[in-house]
C-alpha cells in the first residue's frame, strides 16, 4: 500500500454535474427535494470510504432556473440530516463570508461538528454572484478585493470564536457542581473594520478543534487566501500543466506562510463519462450534449465572461476579440479558465458551451475505467493533485459506475484506502488537529 493516499470527495449537485443531467432518463430529477435521496448518496460514498461529500451553495436564485434545476437548499441543515444517516464520511458545506455573520456561522458549524462527531468542513467563499447583494440590503455587490479583505478578517474572528473554549474547559462534574472552568473560556473582544464581536461562543470547542477550512478560489487573491488559511482546496483545471502550476504555486505560498505543504490538500474536480470502450463513452457524452438547451448554456457563458452571444451563430468561430480581459471579471479564476480554452483550442461557440456544459469548467473526461484511473494516477503522481472532487455527470448512476469500476482499480494500485483509519474529516485528509489560539492565555470570562 502506497504511503501517500488519494483523497476522494463526492461533490453532490442535485441532478448531476452536466447542465442537462436533469433531462437524462437515468437521473433522479424527481427526488431533488427528498432528503433520503441525499442520505442514500452519502451512504454509498461512505461505503466506498470516500473522504467527504460536498454541497455547493449560493445566496441568490440563478437567473437561468427556467432551464435547469438551479435552486439550492441550505447545506448545513441538509448535512445535519445526512450526519444522522452516516457514521464516518466528512460533511463539507459552502458558506459565504460576504453574506453571513461570523458568530452565527460559528454556531452552525460547531453544532454540525459536534452532532457528526467531528466530520464538518467549511467551504469558504466570498460569493461572485452580484445579484446576492439585493437579498441582503446592500446597494451593490462588493468588489473582488473588498470581499477578500472582509474574508480575511472573518477568518480571524471565526477562528477565535471556535477556539474561545479551550479543549478542557468543560468539567461536567456533578459532585463538585462545576460544569465549566471559566478560566478556560475566553472573550475574543474583536474590533475591526468589518466586525465587532465580543464572544465567547456559546458552545464548547468541537471534536476537530474547528471544522476543516476548505477554499475554492483560484484567482490571485484566492490563491493567496487559500495558501494562508485553507486545509483543502477545490479547484478547476482543464490540463495537467495548468493543475501542476497551481499545485506548485499553492504549496510554495503555503511554505511562505510557515505552513507545511502536507497540511494543504489540493483537490481538482473531475467529471467522468465511463463506459466499456472509448467509443461508448464518447457516445454517452454526446447523448448528454444533445440535451443541452442553448438558452441556458449561453446564460452560463455570459455569467462567466460577461459576453452575451445570444445573437451569434452557434457553429461560427468564438469571437475572442469581444472578451474584455481588462474588466473586473478578468481577475476571476473561471473567467481565466474559459479564456484559456478559447486561446488554446479556438472552438466554435457550440464547442465551447459543450465543453463547459459537463461541469462548469471542471475537467471532463470520457473513456473506459482504466483510462479514468490512469489519468487520476498521472495527476496524483506528477504534482497536480492530492485527490479529486468526483463530479458525476448524472446522479445516482454516474457515481455508482465510478464507485464500481474505477475505485477498485485505484485500490488495486495502492492509491486509495480500503477502510477508514480514523473517525473525523481531519483524519481522512491527514490533517492535524489545530491548537487553540488561546492555549496558555490568562484572559477569560468573569
62: domain CATH number is 3.20.20.30
Spatial separation of the C-alpha atoms in residues 254 and 249, rounded to whole Å = 9
- The DSSP secondary structure of 25-52, one letter per residue, reads TTB-GGGTT-HHHHHHHHHHHHHTT-SE
Nearest residue to 7 via CA among 436, 427, 432: 427
b/e string for 372-410 if b means 16 or more Cβ within 10 A?
A: bbebbbebbeeebbbbbbbbbbbbbbbbebbbebbbebb
Write down the pLDDT at residue 446. 47
Is the residue at 157 inside a domain?
yes
Write down the pLDDT at residue 441. 61
Taking residue 159's Cβ as centre, other Cβ atoms within 10 Å add up to 19
Is the residue at 74 inside a domain?
yes
Is the residue at 345 inside a domain?
no
pLDDT digits (tens, 9 = 90+) for 324-334: 877 655 556 77
Write down the pLDDT at residue 212. 98
Total domains in the chain come to 1
Contacts of 116 (CB under 8 A, 6+ apart): 79, 80, 83, 91
> pTM for the whole thing?
0.92
Is the residue at 282 inside a domain?
no
Spatial separation of the C-alpha atoms in residues 361 and 311, rounded to whole Å = 23
Is the residue at 411 inside a domain?
yes
Can you list the residues of the chain whose pLDDT is less than 70? 1-2, 63, 327-332, 440-446
Spatial separation of the C-alpha atoms in residues 206 and 192, rounded to whole Å = 26
pLDDT digits (tens, 9 = 90+) for 231-287: 999 999 999 999 999 999 999 999 999 999 999 999 999 999 999 999 999 999 999
Nearest residue to 51 via CA among 322, 430, 442: 430
Spatial separation of the C-alpha atoms in residues 202 and 199, rounded to whole Å = 8
Is the residue at 154 inside a domain?
yes
Is the residue at 438 inside a domain?
no
Range of the domain at 112: 7-277+362-429
Write down the pLDDT at residue 328. 58
Is the residue at 419 inside a domain?
yes
Amino acid at each position: 500500500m502506497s504511503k501517500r493516499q488519494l483523497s476522494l470527495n463526492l461533490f453532490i449537485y442535485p441532478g448531476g454535474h452536466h447542465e442537462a443531467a436533469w433531462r437524462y432518463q437515468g437521473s433522479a430529477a424527481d427526488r431533488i427535494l427528498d432528503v433520503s435521496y441525499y442520505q442514500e448518496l452519502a451512504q454509498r460514498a461512505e461505503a466506498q470510504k470516500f473522504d467527504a461529500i460536498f454541497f455547493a451553495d449560493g445566496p441568490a436564485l440563478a437567473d437561468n432556473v427556467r432551464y435547469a434545476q438551479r435552486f439550492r437548499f441550505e447545506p448545513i441543515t441538509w448535512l445535519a440530516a445526512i450526519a444522522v444517516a452516516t457514521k464516518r464520511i466528512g460533511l463539507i458545506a459552502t458558506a459565504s463570508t460576504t453574506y453571513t455573520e461570523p458568530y452565527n456561522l460559528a454556531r452552525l458549524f460547531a453544532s454540525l461538528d459536534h452532532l457528526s462527531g467531528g466530520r464538518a468542513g467549511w467551504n469558504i467563499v466570498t460569493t461572485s454572484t452580484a445579484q446576492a447583494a439585493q437579498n441582503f440590503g446592500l446597494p451593490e455587490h462588493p468588489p473582488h478585493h473588498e470581499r477578500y479583505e472582509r474574508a480575511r478578517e472573518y477568518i480571524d474572528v471565526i477562528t477565535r470564536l471556535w477556539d474561545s473554549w479551550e479543549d478542557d474547559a468543560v468539567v461536567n462534574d456533578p459532585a463538585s457542581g462545576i460544569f465549566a472552568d471559566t478560566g478556560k473560556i475566553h472573550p475574543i473582544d474583536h474590533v475591526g473594520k468589518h466586525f465587532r464581536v465580543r464572544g465567547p461562543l456559546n458552545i464548547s470547542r468541537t471534536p476537530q478543534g474547528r471544522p476543516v477550512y476548505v477554499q475554492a478560489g483560484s484567482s490571485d487573491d484566492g490563491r493567496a487566501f487559500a495558501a494562508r488559511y485553507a486545509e483543502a482546496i477545490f479547484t478547476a483545471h482543464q490540463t495537467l500543466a495548468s493543475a501542476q502550476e497551481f499545485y506548485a504555486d499553492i504549496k510554495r505560498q503555503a511554505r511562505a506562510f510557515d505552513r507545511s505543504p502536507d497540511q494543504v490538500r489540493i483537490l481538482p474536480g473531475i467529471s467522468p463519462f465511463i463506459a466499456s470502450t472509448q467509443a461508448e463513452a464518447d457516445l454517452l457524452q454526446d447523448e448528454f450534449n444533445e440535451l443541452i438547451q442553448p438558452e441556458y448554456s449561453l446564460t452560463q457563458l455570459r455569467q462567466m465572461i460577461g459576453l452575451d452571444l445570444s445573437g451569434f451563430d452557434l457553429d461560427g468561430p468564438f469571437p475572442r476579440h469581444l472578451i474584455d480581459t481588462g474588466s473586473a471579471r478578468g481577475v476571476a479564476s473561471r473567467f481565466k479558465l474559459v479564456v484559456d480554452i478559447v486561446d488554446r483550442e479556438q472552438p466554435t461557440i457550440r464547442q465551447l458551451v459543450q465543453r463547459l456544459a459537463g461541469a462548469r469548467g471542471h475537467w471532463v473526461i470520457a473513456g473506459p475505467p482504466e483510462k479514468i484511473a490512469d489519468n487520476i494516477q498521472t495527476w496524483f503522481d506528477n504534482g497536480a493533485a492530492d485527490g479529486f472532487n468526483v463530479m458525476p455527470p448524472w446522479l445516482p448512476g454516474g457515481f455508482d459506475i465510478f464507485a464500481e469500476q474505477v475505485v477498485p482499480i485505484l485500490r488495486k494500485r495502492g492509491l486509495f484506502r480500503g477502510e477508514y483509519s480514523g473517525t473525523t474529516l481531519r483524519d481522512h485528509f491527514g490533517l492535524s488537529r489545530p491548537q487553540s489560539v488561546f492555549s496558555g492565555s490568562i484572559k477569560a470570562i468573569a
